[in-house]
Amino acid sequence: MSIGNEAELLLEFNDFGFMYNAQAAPTLYNIDLKLHRGERVLIAGPSGCGKSTLIHCINGLIPFSYKGQMTGSLKIKGRETSTLSIFDISNTVGTVLQDSDAQFVGMTVAEDIAFAPENDCVGDPMLHERVLKAATMVGIEDYLKHAPGELSGGQKQRVSVAGVMVDDVDILIFDEPLANLDPATGKQAIELIDEMQEKTGATVIIVEHRLEDVLHRYVDRVILMEKGRIISDTPPDELLSGELLSQCGIREPLYITALKYAGVSISRDMNPSSVDGMIIGDDAKKKVREWYSKPVEITEDAPSDELLSCESISFAYDKGERKALDGITVRINKGEMTAIVGTNGAGKSTFSKVVCGFETEDEGRIFLNGKDIADSSIKERAEHIGYVMQNPNQMISKVWIYDEVALGLRTRGVPEDEISVRVEKALKICGLWRMRKWPVSALSFGQKKRVTIASILVLDPEMIILDEPTAGQDYRHYTEIMEFLSELNRQGITVVMVTHDMHLMLEYAKRAIVFSKGRIIADDKCHNILTNMSIIKEASLKETSLYGLALKCGIEDGTGFVKHFIDYERHNIRGTRKEEAYDQSV
Amino acid sequence: MTNLFNYIDRPSPIHRLTGATKFVCLMLWSFAAMSTYDTRMLLGLTIISMILFLIGRIHIKDVSFMLGFTLVFLVINSIAIYLFSPLHGTKIYGSCTYLLEYTGRFAPTAEQLFYHFNYVLKYLATIPIVLLFVTTTNPSEFAASLNKIGVKYSIAYAVALALRYIPDIQRQYHEISQAGQARGIEMSKKATLISRLKSASGILIPLILSSMDRIEVISNAMELRGFGKKKKRTWYMGRPFKAADISAMLGCVLLVCLSLYLNHINGGRYYNPFI
C-alpha cells in the first residue's frame, strides 16, 4: 500500500518536546512526525526511549494525567492538542493499553465494550446495537456475558480492541500488544490489528519492541526512538538492511541474524521484512548452506544426577473440577537450565506451585534428591527450591535492599553475623553490592528483579523456579537478566524458567517441557520442539523463522539448521555478549 | 476460595429485581426487624426471609462462610449478654419466673430465656436477607440503579469497581502470602497472633504497592474512554423499575409500618406474654 500525499494528515508533531514536572531533563526532544489516514506505523525503541511518553502525548494522558511542560506543536486533525480536552481527543484517538487484564473496567465483556458509549450517554437500543456490532467485528460476540477472568489472553485483547472500536476513532494506538501473549496468540493479535485497519481505514500506531512479531503483517514505517529522539523513520525493509537496530538494542529478526552469520549482507531490495517474501539470491543461499555445513564445536553436558523428580502428580483447585495437573511425571537433573512452556492455563504455574508446596497435590509423589518431600512445609522446601514471582513488586516488602535480602534468614533465626556474610555473598552474585545501602524504591524493574532473586539465593537453594523472568523487558534488559541467570546456572544452581518467550527458549534453555491442558505433551531439546508442527500448534507456540529460512535455502533438515544456529550462537556469540552485559550490571 | 461478596447468577424473581430495589428493601427490612422485639412479628419476618431465600435459589453452601461467621458471632454475643446482664429479661418483662430451684444471680428465668429467644430471632430475620442481597445483586446493575435513585455516577461506579476487584485482590493476597511463606513469613495457625499480625504487614505492603500500580492503569483506561466526560451517563446493565420492584418496596414499607404499629399497641418495643 502506498500513502499518497492526498491522504488526510491526521497527526502532526512540529519540533515537539516534553518534560515531566518531576524530572530535570526533557523526555522528548525535537519530535517531527506526520501521520496520514490509513498509515500503519510501528514505534520501536529500548525501555526509557520515550515511546510511551510519545503516545501519552497523542492520546491526551499527557498533560491531563501526567503533568509537564510541552514545547513546539502537536496537532490532531489540524487542531492544537493544548486547546483540546482528553475527552475531545478520545473521540479521535483510541488506545489499547498494554495490560489487557488491568484495563478491564466492566464486570463482563459486554459492559466493558459499552463503557465508552455509556460515558457518551448513548441510550438503548443504540447502546446494545453498538456493543454487538463492535463485538462481532473482533469475533467475541459469543462471550458477551463472560467475566474477564473466564477469557484467554487473546480473547481479553479482542475485548480491549472492541472497547475502542465501538467509537469510530481515526487513530488506533496499541501499547505493547504482545507483552502478555503466548507466541501463537501474539501472531493472531497482529493479524487482528491488520484486519481492523483494513475494515476501518484508521491509522494504526503499534508500540512494541518485538520487531519480528509485528512484521508478521504489513507495516508502512518503523519509527525508531532512542533517548527521547526519533533517530530513524523508514520503511521496514530499509531499516532491516541497516545497522541501526543493533545499535539501539532492538532484536533483529532471527532469520536476518542467521543470514548475517552466514556472511550475507542484507539490502533493501531483498524485501527483508518477512522471511516468506524475502528475495534470497542463489549466491546467498549457497553461503547459508556453506555456513550450515561447517560444524560447530560443541561440548555436550555430562549427564548429571537427579535433583527433582515428580511421579504422576495430579491436582485440581476444586474437587470435582477439571484437573489443573493430570499425571505429571518429570525429572529435573542437577545443573540444568530448563524452560517450561505452554498456553495460559496449561498448568505451568500450578506445577511450580505444587513443587514449592504452595498447593498440595491430590495424587503422586515428589522427590528431592531422592527423598519424598510430602511432609516438608513451604518454608522447608524454600531452602531447596526458590520461587521468583513474575512481578517483583509482589515480593518486596522491606524499604532497604539489605533488609529485603536478609528477610528470609532473619525469619529463620540465623545469627546476625552469619546473615551479613550470606547477604554480602548474595548481593555480590547479583551485582547489587554497591547498592546495598539503597532503598528498593530507587531501583529499576530489572534491578528489583535481581533483588528478589538475591533474596531467594540467600537461602542457598539448589534450584530456582522463575515465573516469566523477562516479561515486559526490552532486548538489553532481557539479555542482562538472562546472562545473569546463565551465570548462576554455571555456578551450579539449577534454573527452571516458566515462559512464553520463544527466543528465551532457543537461546538459553537446553531443554523445554511443554504443558498443555494439565499434561506434559513434550519434553525435549528446544530445537526439536520449535520445529515440531503438532507440538507448536497444541502448545500455542510459533514456528521459528529460522525454519522457514532453512527451507527457503534448500536445506531439508530444518530442525538441524535451528540446532546449528543455537550451537553457533552459544559457541561464538554468547560468551562475548555475556561479558558486556555483566560489566554493565556489576 | 471463599469470596465474601459473590454475585451468583441464577434465574429467580429476586435476581430480577433491580439492585436499588433490593438495597432499599434491605434497609427497610432491617429497620422493621431492629425496631421491634415483638415475637410474633420477628417469627413472621424469619419465616418470610427463609422463604425468600429459597425463592432466590441460593444454597446454604454458597454462603456457608458468611453464615458460619455470623452465627459464631451471634452465639458469642448471646453468651456475653447472659454473663453481663442475666436479669435483663426480668427487668423488661417485670416478672421473675425461675425455671429451676436455684435462685442465684445466674439462675435461668423464663423471662431471660424469652428475651434471648427474641434476640436470636432478630438475627435470623435479618441474616438471610443480607445474604440474599449480597448474592443476588449484580455489582454493575447495582451501580446503575444507585445512580438512578440519585447517587452520583462516579460514586456508584466506584462501588461497582470495588466489588469487582475484591476477588482479584483476594487472589493476589493469596499469591503474595505464599511467596512470603516461602521466605519464612509465618502465616499459619502455628504462629502467635502477634507474630501473625507482624507478618501480615510483610504481605500487605507488596499488596498495596501492586494495587497502586493497578489503580493508575485503571484510572488511565477509564479516562481514555471518556469516564467523567458528561454530567450523566447511561448504563448497559441498567433496568427500568417494574411492577415487582414497586410492590417489593411497598411490601417492605408496610412491614415497617406494622412494626411501628406493634410498638404502639405493645406500649414499647417488647411483646410481653408474662402478664
pLDDT exceeds cutoff 70 at A112: yes
Taken in order B211, B217, B222, B228, the sign of the CA dihedral is positive
Touching B: A residues 419-478, CB under 8 Å: 455-456, 459
So what's the pLDDT on residue A5?
55
> A51-75 in b/e burial notation, b at 16+ Cβ within 10 A?
bbbbbbbbbbbbbbebebebeeebb
pLDDT exceeds cutoff 90 at B168: no
**Closest Cβ opposite residue A102 in set B138, B185, B214:** B214
Q: Percent of chain A at pLDDT above 70? A: 96
Residue B235 in any domain: the answer is no
Distances (CA, A) of B171 to A313, A348, B177, B201, B207: 24, 17, 10, 17, 11
Chain B residues lying within 8 Å of A391, measured CB to CB? 210
Taken in order B78, B81, B84, B86, the sign of the CA dihedral is negative
Domains contained in chain B, number: 2
Task: Decide: B78 and B119 in contact? Cβ < 8 Å.
Answer: yes
- Indicate yes or no: CB of B224 within 8 angstroms of CB of A128: no
pLDDT exceeds cutoff 80 at A461: yes
Residue B68 in any domain: the answer is yes
pLDDT in tens, B146-160: 888 888 999 988 888
Mean pLDDT of B199-211: 81
Query: CA-nearest residue of chain A to B202?
Result: A397
Name residue, grid cell 555445513: A293
Across the A:B interface, residue pairs with CB atoms under 8 Å apart total: 151
pLDDT exceeds cutoff 70 at A547: yes
pLDDT exceeds cutoff 90 at A149: no
Alpha carbon distance A343, A539 (integer Å): 6
Task: For strands A337-341 and A494-498, give the pairing.
Answer: parallel
- Indicate yes or no: CB of A356 within 8 angstroms of CB of B234: no
Alpha carbon distance B79, B142 (integer Å): 37
Average pLDDT in chain B: 86
Task: Decide: A497 and A352 in contact? Cβ < 8 Å.
Answer: no
Residue A45, classified by CB atoms within 10 Å of its CB into exposed (0-12), middle (13-18) or buried (19+), is buried
Alpha carbon distance B176, B203 (integer Å): 6
B42 and B128 share a domain? yes
- Indicate yes or no: CB of B183 within 8 angstroms of CB of A459: yes
B36 and B126 share a domain? yes
pLDDT exceeds cutoff 80 at A32: yes
B73 and B117 share a domain? yes
Q: In the β-sheet with A229-234, what is the strand arrangement from edge to edge?
A: A93-96, A171-175, A203-207, A40-44, A221-226, A229-234
Average pLDDT in chain A: 89
Query: Is the ipTM beyond the 0.85 threshold?
Result: no
**Closest Cβ opposite residue A107 in set B140, B183, B224:** B140
pLDDT exceeds cutoff 70 at A23: yes
Using the Cβ of A107 and the Cβ atoms of chain B, whether some distance falls under 8 Å is answered with: yes
Residue B36 in any domain: the answer is yes
Chain A residues lying within 8 Å of B233, measured CB to CB? 118-121
Mean pLDDT of A375-395: 88
Q: Nearest to residue B123, comparing CAs of B91, B77, B169? A: B77
Mention every residue, 6+ apart, whose C-beta is less than 8 A from residue A175: A52, A55, A95, A96, A97, A98, A207
- Indicate yes or no: CB of A115 within 8 angstroms of CB of B181: no
Split at pLDDT 50, 70, 90, the class of A581 is very low
B133 and B154 share a domain? no
So what's the pLDDT on residue B5?
56
Chain B residues lying within 8 Å of A121, measured CB to CB? 230, 232-234
Task: Indicate the SS3 state at residue A273.
Answer: coil
Split at pLDDT 50, 70, 90, the class of A578 is very low
Task: Decide: A402 and A436 in contact? Cβ < 8 Å.
Answer: yes
Domain that holds residue B71: 13-137+240-266
Split at pLDDT 50, 70, 90, the class of A585 is very low
pLDDT exceeds cutoff 80 at B11: yes
So what's the pLDDT on residue B191?
66
The enclosing H or E element of A230 equals strand A229-234
Strand-pair partners of A325: A315
Residue B233 in any domain: the answer is no
Distances (CA, A) of A357 to A373, A386, B2: 9, 11, 21
- Indicate yes or no: CB of A397 within 8 angstroms of CB of B221: no
Distances (CA, A) of A439 to A403, A405, A417, A542, B122: 10, 12, 22, 41, 54
B164 and B104 share a domain? no
So what's the pLDDT on residue A1?
45
Residue B1 in any domain: the answer is no
Mention every residue, 6+ apart, whose C-beta is less than 8 A from residue A185: A152, A153, A154, A157, A343, A540
Residue B275 in any domain: the answer is no
Chain B residues lying within 8 Å of A379, measured CB to CB? 181-182, 184, 186
So what's the pLDDT on residue A576?
55
Chain B residues lying within 8 Å of A451, measured CB to CB? none
B124 and B151 share a domain? no
So what's the pLDDT on residue B1?
35
Task: Decide: B236 and A111 in contact? Cβ < 8 Å.
Answer: yes
Using the Cβ of A378 and the Cβ atoms of chain B, whether some distance falls under 8 Å is answered with: yes
Cell of A400: 532497604
Task: Decide: A112 and A140 in contact? Cβ < 8 Å.
Answer: no
So what's the pLDDT on residue B3?
47
Q: Percent of chain B at pLDDT above 70? A: 96
Residue B121 in any domain: the answer is yes
pLDDT in tens, B213-249: 888 888 999 999 999 888 899 999 888 889 999 999 9
Task: Decide: A180 and A99 in contact? Cβ < 8 Å.
Answer: yes
Mutate to test the interface with A, among B142, B210, B236, B239 (most CBs of A within 10 A): B236
B131 and B168 share a domain? no
Task: Decide: A163 and A115 in contact? Cβ < 8 Å.
Answer: yes
B258 and B132 share a domain? yes
Cell of B274: 408474662
B257 and B187 share a domain? no
- Indicate yes or no: CB of A391 within 8 angstroms of CB of B230: no
B57 and B130 share a domain? yes
Using the Cβ of A168 and the Cβ atoms of chain B, whether some distance falls under 8 Å is answered with: no
pLDDT exceeds cutoff 70 at B188: no
So what's the pLDDT on residue B190?
63
Strand-pair partners of B52: none
- Indicate yes or no: CB of A393 within 8 angstroms of CB of B223: no
Residue B243, classified by CB atoms within 10 Å of its CB into exposed (0-12), middle (13-18) or buried (19+), is exposed
Query: CA-nearest residue of chain A to B201?
Result: A397
Residue B6 in any domain: the answer is no
Split at pLDDT 50, 70, 90, the class of B257 is very high
Touching B: A residues 122-151, CB under 8 Å: 122-124, 127-128, 131, 149
Mean pLDDT of A171-196: 90
B95 and B121 share a domain? yes
pLDDT exceeds cutoff 80 at A526: yes
- Indicate yes or no: CB of A412 within 8 angstroms of CB of B184: yes
User: Which is higher by pLDDT, A442 or B18?
Assistant: B18
Chain B residues lying within 8 Å of A123, measured CB to CB? 234
Q: Percent of chain B at pLDDT above 90? A: 36
pLDDT in tens, A120-137: 999 888 999 999 999 999
B81 and B205 share a domain? no
pLDDT in tens, A267-290: 999 999 989 889 999 999 999 999
pLDDT in tens, B65-123: 888 888 999 999 999 999 998 888 888 888 888 888 888 888 889 999 999 999 999 99
